[in-house]
Amino acid sequence: MAQGPQDAGARLAALENQVRSAQSAGDNAWMLISSALVLMMTGPGLALFYGGLVRRKNVLGTMMQSFILMGLVTVIWAVAGYSLVFAEGSPFVGGFRYLFLNGVGAAPNSDYAATIPQQTFMVYQLMFAIITPALISGAFAERMKFSAMLLFMTLWSLLVYFPMAHMVWGKGGFLNAALGGKVPCFDFAGGTVVHITSGVSALVCALYLGRRKGYLHEPMKPHNLTLSFIGACMLWVGWFGFNAGSALAASALATSAFVATHFAAASAALGWVIVEWIRTGKPSVLGGISGCVAGLVAITPASGFVTPFPALFIGLAAGVVCYFMVTKIKDLFRYDDSLDAFGVHGAGGTLGAILTGVFATKLVNDSFNRPLGAVDGNGGQVLNQLVGTLIAWGLASVGTLVILKVCDWILGVRVEPEDETEGLDLSMHGEEAYNLEA
């Protein structure tokens, strides 16, 4: 039986569909795994990392500050967050089209990720919205009232994170590099959106709440560095979902971001340890894990734009710079950024955002069809990166200060002195982490 041209056309269309669904299956598998990896960064990753660094009377309170955001931010995201970031709106904040996840289902949103269900994209981005405020909690550890923290995080998500994420990643956002931004700023996985906003807000929190009782007089040693060690290693692994997942497909770009991420973490850990070894005579475990996190922070905006050797350099620079931020600069100004959220995320994020403008290259990411950073001969990109950095600093610092004032007025942000002495575990949550007699 002879087959007519119509028949061939139908078979071609069927084949095309099969190819598309095969690609979609691969991409979707990777993006669901990435989503889970990024959630794992908050709980247990960050919760363990921060929980080990505080005194034993505050370990549960500290872990709870990360964990509860997995609940709180999820609800806010479903109601309004996703829409305020990713629906088309003004250059500064998204619109209401996806309110209550209206229309966010199996069909891809081709503006952002054409091969995966929009629902996958939505849940992946949610994980970023969870970890970003959780990072701030390192600055006000051991002294913020739980109720005030919940209010603070709600307002902060609405007024700082959603607008910033929209500006950088949302269609028509002011800084969006791919979808019609006025000042295209490269931020692959959240140098400005995640790390500068959280790090700078952390500094404002540390300054506003003031130092912990007894800071610089009483010993405030980390109570369990093995917890912090496990947490940091989980962060390192989870970060592959964070950065390589930001390719939004199981693509060569994802591989490149994976490699850059890993290389930066490695060189940053070495950088911090070596500088510390030279200066104090001993290479510490806390130094090693702090260094790797600093490197991961700094490579975040650059991860989808740079080749392996610039990634090694960015990591090394972050390891050394952040070491001096937390050991020297903090001492100089005597602010109590308890777990160094600013020293690592603020400083590392700023460094990474700017260096992205230097090292971004079309060899890695050709989706823009033009020279990207200074190494491609587009030196002006560094200025764009500075604009993005300044906007993130400005929005985070002003927004956080206003929100803290509001929270302080309504609830009071700081725990009572006797509660602080007793510890957050008992005073806020009515339980203890280590019941050795039990």
State which residue, 172 or 343, has the beta carbon closest to another protein.
Answer: 343
Q: Determine, following the binding rule CB under 8 A, whether residue 331 of this chain makes contact with another protein.
A: yes
The binding track of 114-153 with respect to another protein, each residue x by CB under 8 A or -, is: ----------------------------------------
Q: Please tell me the count of residues contacting another protein according to CB under 8 A.
A: 16
Using CA atoms, how far apart are residues 128 and 194, in angstroms rounded to an integer? 7
DSSP class of residue 87 equals: S
Q: Determine, following the binding rule CB under 8 A, whether residue 340 of this chain makes contact with another protein.
A: yes
Look at the block and give the residue holding tokens 């992205």. Answer: 356
Kindly state the smallest distance separating residue 140's Cβ from another protein, in Å: 17
Kindly state the smallest distance separating residue 190's Cβ from another protein, in Å: 24
Q: Determine, following the binding rule CB under 8 A, whether residue 327 of this chain makes contact with another protein.
A: yes
Q: Determine, following the binding rule CB under 8 A, whether residue 226 of this chain makes contact with another protein.
A: no
Q: Which residues of 173-199 are buried (b: 16+ CB within 10 A; e: fewer)?
A: bbbbbeeebebbbbbbbbbbbbbbbbb
Q: Determine, following the binding rule CB under 8 A, whether residue 55 of this chain makes contact with another protein.
A: no
Q: Determine, following the binding rule CB under 8 A, whether residue 336 of this chain makes contact with another protein.
A: no
H-helix or E-strand spanning residue 91 = none
Asked if 226 contacts 248 with a C-beta cutoff of 8 angstroms, the reply is: no
Kindly state the smallest distance separating residue 53's Cβ from another protein, in Å: 8
| Sequence-ordered list of residues with C-beta below 8 angstroms from that of 318, at least 6 positions apart, any chain | 264, 268, 271, 294, 295, 297, 298, 299, 348, 351, 352
Q: Which of 180, 222, 308, 371 binds another protein (CB under 8 A)?
A: 222
**Stated length of the chain:** 438
State which residue, 321 or 372, has the beta carbon closest to another protein.
Answer: 321
The binding track of 286-315 with respect to another protein, each residue x by CB under 8 A or -, is: xx--x-------------------------
Kindly state the smallest distance separating residue 239's Cβ from another protein, in Å: 21
Kindly state the smallest distance separating residue 332's Cβ from another protein, in Å: 11
Q: Determine, following the binding rule CB under 8 A, whether residue 330 of this chain makes contact with another protein.
A: yes
Q: Determine, following the binding rule CB under 8 A, whether residue 366 of this chain makes contact with another protein.
A: no
Q: Determine, following the binding rule CB under 8 A, whether residue 282 of this chain makes contact with another protein.
A: yes
Phi/psi for 392 (5° steps) reads -65, -45
Q: Determine, following the binding rule CB under 8 A, whether residue 345 of this chain makes contact with another protein.
A: no
Q: Which stretch binds another protein (CB under 8 A): 142-150, 277-285, 382-390, 391-399?
A: 277-285
Kindly state the smallest distance separating residue 348's Cβ from another protein, in Å: 14
Q: Determine, following the binding rule CB under 8 A, whether residue 4 of this chain makes contact with another protein.
A: no
Kindly state the smallest distance separating residue 221's Cβ from another protein, in Å: 6
Q: Which of 220, 233, 237, 402 binds another protein (CB under 8 A)?
A: 220
Cα dihedral 169/170/174/177 (nearest 10): 50
> Which 3-state string (H, E, C) describes 164-203?
HHHHHHCCCCCCCCCCCCCCCCCCCCCHHHHHHHHHHHHH
Q: Determine, following the binding rule CB under 8 A, whether residue 326 of this chain makes contact with another protein.
A: yes
Q: Which of 1, 4, 217, 219 binds another protein (CB under 8 A)?
A: 219
**Amino acid at position 350, single letter:** T
Look up residue 301 and give its two tokens: 């905006």
* Cα distances (Å, whole numbers) of residue 421 to 297, 412, 430: 33, 17, 14
Using CA atoms, how far apart are residues 114 and 108, in angstroms rounded to an integer? 5
Kindly state the smallest distance separating residue 326's Cβ from another protein, in Å: 5
Using CA atoms, how far apart are residues 78 and 326, in angstroms rounded to an integer? 37
**Exposed, middle or buried: residue 435 (CB in 10 Å: 0-12, 13-18, 19+)?**
exposed
Q: Which stretch binds another protein (CB under 8 A): 41-49, 71-79, 213-221, 296-304?
A: 213-221
* Cα distances (Å, whole numbers) of residue 89 to 84, 180, 182, 365: 8, 12, 14, 27
Using CA atoms, how far apart are residues 407 and 13, in angstroms rounded to an integer? 58
User: Which residue ranges make up the site for another protein (CB under 8 A)?
Assistant: 219-222, 280, 282, 284, 286-287, 290, 326-328, 330-331, 340
